[in-house]
Chains A and B, each alone.
Chain A
Amino acid sequence: MKTRMIGALAALALLGACSTATDQNASAGAGAATTATGPRPGSQEDLVANVGDRVFFAFDSSAVRADQRPTLERQAAWMGRFPQVQVTVEGHADERGTREYNLALGQRRANAARDVLVAGGVAAARINTISYGKDRPAALGSNEESWAQNRRAVTVVR
């Protein structure tokens, strides 16, 4: 009983350390080593911590917003520094739409983000796209705050 308690406390402490290190958590790369010197260059954690892995969209829109474009431009520059890196851009929608339409909308968002990366000099062959529609929300609330976080395109290192 006592050892189990200590184990649980240790796990909690570890969890705390992890969440401060990666802060705005990404969907991939869970469990990857986080060293004292920061994330491994060219990794998903590096992308999340130093570049930003996602951009957000307006309701029922796949136009890359002016305030989101710099994130994609930084992603393109980052991919220029790590030419071995290949990515998948995942397109998503909020829950305020129908499933089949949102699959198409998520694909169009992923494509729009990819186009900016390509315009920034990344070879198209390094980028895959996939849509999850409304079926993989990042934020789980049923309110505008969550929906804004879910209308997104996320760049994931393969």
Chain B
Amino acid sequence: MTLRSPVVLTRRHALFGAGAAMVAPGIFTWPLPAAAQAPQGAVIDITRARTDPIPIAVPDLAGTTAEAQRLGRDIARVIQTNLRNSGLFRPIERQAFIQTPELAAERPRFQDWRVIGAQALTTGRVEAQPDRLRVEFRLWDVLPEQQLQGTAFTAPAAQWRRIAHLISDVIYERLLGEKGYFDTQIVYIAESGPRDRRTRRLALMDQDGENHRFLTDGGFQALTPRFHPNARQIAFMSYNRNEPRVHLFNLDTGQQSVLGAFSGMTFSPRFSPDGRAVILSASRGGDANVFVVDLATRRERQLTSGGSLDVSPCFSPDGQQIVFNSDRGGDQQLYVMNADGSNVRRISFGSGRYATPVWSPRGDLIAFTRMSGGQFAIGVMRPDGSGERILSEGWSMEAPTFAPNGRVLAFYRETPSRDSRGSGYSSRLAQIDIAGFNERQMVTPTDASDPNWSPLLS
């Protein structure tokens, strides 16, 4: 694994050395002149073990007005939460800080930050104009007293959370050498009501649970939402008019449309990596086969055939291969085939049944659900089936989805009913590092299932 390689540093230099850039609608960034000599290579020892997160000080961003100070505090808190939740950073408690944010934003007194154990430090200031926000941000390596990054952002004031996530991603990438995943969203199914009459709605939120909104009203059941690579469209399964079919949901217009002209149920959709097609399963008679539907022509092509249940297809990130779930060998196992449906080979050979395969955006792993001995588990294996590792195990869990950097998985975990009325049952989103540590429950307003992680939004 090439985790935390310093190679990316030069790429980031290039990005921020090229002058102002628009990273999202209305959000501009440009480099700040270095306040100290910028380093030429990796400066933080980034080969530490996962149990040793990087101690970082993220004081409030300074501001000259009450409004700017409030925003500076809020932005710092979002950054701290992001970094802490990754499990790879340890934000230092603010009570320990010696130098004030205002003075640190002028010029860090590194001794004050060294003495409280900070290896990295962020400083910055916020200027709140009536409807716009200007945020300056610097990242420092405390030991050699060097600036690693200096970036200014302007954005509509309502976008302050986006700025906090963009800064978090800069910190993550500069200190770990791989891209972050904080400027992202999660689409999922919000579940409410008794289990035999559940309401299941599409819901969308930032990766940290904020900016939550429902996309459908619960008038029909929605399942298994998946982002388009541009994050502006979602494919999902809808029971609208009691016809279970894959639909597309346009996030800009709110428009929903059925995909393809299939006579039977269509389900388990995912976009191709280039965004031009959707791969899905279609039932014909009692069978389920894998089809790919071209979004421009709406023409469908059948990739698997026969009497088996072929479900949950997912492209490799290069679009050349497809992993899917089939019972063709007697019970559910994972298979990989070429994108044209040729060269099908089984890749799962452990004990139990395997399901819901999903290819890492880095291409190096396939995550899956395994059912064995009355337990469910989330695990990863290499695309050839070797190197299987179980990350989390319990009564019921399924549907892993990768963060865009391939480092974190989200999935959903259920707790069983205690009695015949269904008391005690719950379904919640969780996430875990692919190294198998730092499992956390994600906060949602109701029960939740079927998470899908967006690509980076900028």
Question: When the two chains form their complex, are residues A141 and B286 in contact, meaning their CB atoms are under 8 A apart?
Answer: no
Residues of the B chain whose Cβ atoms lie less than 8 Å from the Cβ of A146? 417, 420
CB pair B356–A98 under 8 Å, yes or no, is yes
Chain B, residues 257-287, CB within 8 Å of chain A (1/0): the string is 0000000110110000000000001010111
Contact A140 B417 (CB under 8 A): yes
Residue of A nearest to B416 (CB): A142
B40 at the interface (CB under 8 A from A): no
**Bound-complex Cα distance A135 to B198 (A):** 8
Report chain B residues within 8 Å CB of A99. Answer: 223-224, 398-399, 449-450
A107 touching B286 by the CB < 8 A rule? yes
Q: Mark A66-110, 1 if CB is under 8 A from B, else 0.
A: 000000000000000000000000000001111111011101100
Q: Is A155 an interface residue (CB 8 A)?
A: no
Contact A98 B196, beta carbon cutoff 8 Å: no
Residues of A within 8 A of B71 (CB): none
A141/B449 contact (C-beta < 8 A), A103-B267, A107-B265 known: no
Do A98 and B369 touch across chains, with their CB atoms under 8 A apart? yes
B396 at the interface (CB under 8 A from A): yes
Q: Give the CA-CA distance A131 to B355 in the complex, in Å.
A: 19
Interface string of B387-405 (1 = CB under 8 A from A): 0000000011011000000
Asked whether A44 is an interface residue with its Cβ less than 8 Å from the other chain, the reply is no
Query: Which chain A residue lies CB-closest to B450?
Result: A99
Q: What residues of B have a CB within 8 angstroms of the CB of A9 in the complex?
A: none
A140 partner residues in chain B, CB cutoff 8 A: 194-196, 417, 420-422, 425
Taken together as a complex, chains A and B put the C-alpha atoms of A112 and B356 apart, in Å, by 25
Q: Is B331 an interface residue (CB 8 A)?
A: yes
Query: 1/0 contact trace for B227-264 toward A, CB 8 Å?
Result: 00000000001000010100000000000000000001
Q: Does A141 lie within 8 Å of B419, measured CB to CB?
A: yes
Question: For residue B288, which residue of chain A has the nearest CB?
Answer: A104
B347-369: contact bitstring with A at CB < 8 Å (1 yes, 0 no)? 00000000110000000000001
The digit string for A103-137, where 1 denotes a CB below 8 A from any CB of B, is 11101100110000000000000000011000111
B168 contacts partner chain A, Cβ-Cβ < 8 Å: no
User: Nearest Cβ distance between residue B413 and chain A, in whole angstroms?
Assistant: 13
- Give the residues in chain A near B331, CB-CB below 8 Å: 60
A101 to B268, CA, bound (A): 9
B416 touching A100, Cβ below 8 Å: no
Among the listed A96, A97, A135, A141, which residue makes an inter-chain contact with B417, where contact means beta carbons less than 8 Å apart?
A141
Task: Identify which of B237, B285, B398 contacts A98 (C-beta below 8 A).
Answer: B398
Cβ–Cβ < 8 Å partners of B371 in chain A: 96-98
Q: Is A10 an interface residue (CB 8 A)?
A: no
A139 CB–B CB distance under 8 Å: yes
Cβ distance B28 to chain A, nearest Cβ, rounded Å? 42
Interface centre among B194, B196, B416 (most CB of A within 10 A): B196
Alpha-carbon separation in the docked complex, A103 to B281 (Å): 10
A residues near B287, Cβ cutoff 8 Å? 108
How far apart are the CA atoms of A77 and B305 in the complex, in Å? 35
**Smallest CB gap from B396: residue in A:** A95
CB neighbours (8 Å) of B267 from chain A are 100, 103-104
B454 at interface, CB cutoff 8 A: no
Q: How far, in whole Å, are A112 and B285 apart by their CA atoms in the complex?
A: 9
Interfacial chain B residues near A98, Cβ < 8 Å = 312, 325, 332, 355-356, 369, 371, 398-399
Given the known inter-chain contacts A108-B286, A130-B265, A142-B417, please indicate yes or no for A101 contacting B195, CB distance below 8 A: no
CB distance from B422 to the nearest CB of A (A): 3
Quick one: closest B residue to A91, CB to CB? B286
For residue A108, which residues in chain B have a CB less than 8 angstroms away from its CB? 286-288, 309
- Measured between C-beta atoms, what is the minimum distance from B424 to chain A in Å? 9
B311 contacts A by Cβ under 8 Å: yes
Minimum distance in angstroms from B369 CB to a CB of chain A: 5
Known: A136-B196, A140-B421. A101 touches B242 (CB 8 A): no
In the complex, whether B200 has a CB less than 8 A from a CB of chain A is yes
A94 to chain B, nearest CB (A): 11
Tell me the smallest distance from the CB of A27 to a CB of chain B, in Å. Answer: 8
Q: In the complex, A140 Cα to B418 Cα: how many Å?
A: 9
Contact status of A100 and B286, CB under 8 A, knowing A137-B195, A140-B417: no
Q: Is A21 interfacial (CB 8 A cutoff)?
A: no
B221 at interface, CB cutoff 8 A: yes
Residues of B within 8 A of A141 (CB): 417, 419-420, 422
A49 part of interface (Cβ distance < 8 Å):
no
Q: Is A137's CB under 8 angstroms from B196's CB?
A: yes
Are B224 and A138 in touch, CB under 8 angstroms? no
Cβ-neighbour of A130 out of B244, B268, B286, B325 (below 8 A): B244
B400 CB to nearest A CB, Å: 11
Chain A residues near B421 (CB-CB < 8 A): 140
Q: How far is the CA of A112 from the CA of B283 in the complex (A)?
A: 13
Q: Across the interface, do B268 and A100 meet the contact criterion of CB distance under 8 Å?
A: yes
Closest to B414 in A: A95
Say whether A62 contacts B399, CB under 8 Å. no
Determine whether the beta carbon of B283 is less than 8 Å from that of A100. Answer: no
Residue numbers in B under 8 Å from A142 (CB-CB): 395, 416-418, 425
Provide 21 A-B residue pairs closer than 8 Å at the C-beta atoms, listed in order of the A residue: A60-B327, A62-B286, A97-B371, A98-B356, A98-B371, A100-B267, A103-B237, A103-B265, A104-B281, A107-B264, A107-B288, A111-B286, A112-B286, A131-B244, A135-B200, A136-B197, A137-B195, A141-B417, A141-B419, A142-B416, A146-B420
Excluding A101-B325, A130-B265, 16 further A-B contacts by CB distance (< 8 Å) are: A97-B371, A98-B325, A99-B398, A100-B267, A100-B356, A101-B312, A103-B223, A103-B265, A107-B265, A108-B286, A108-B309, A112-B286, A135-B200, A136-B196, A138-B196, A140-B196
- Top-4 shortest CB links A-B: A140-B422, A142-B416, A111-B286, A108-B286
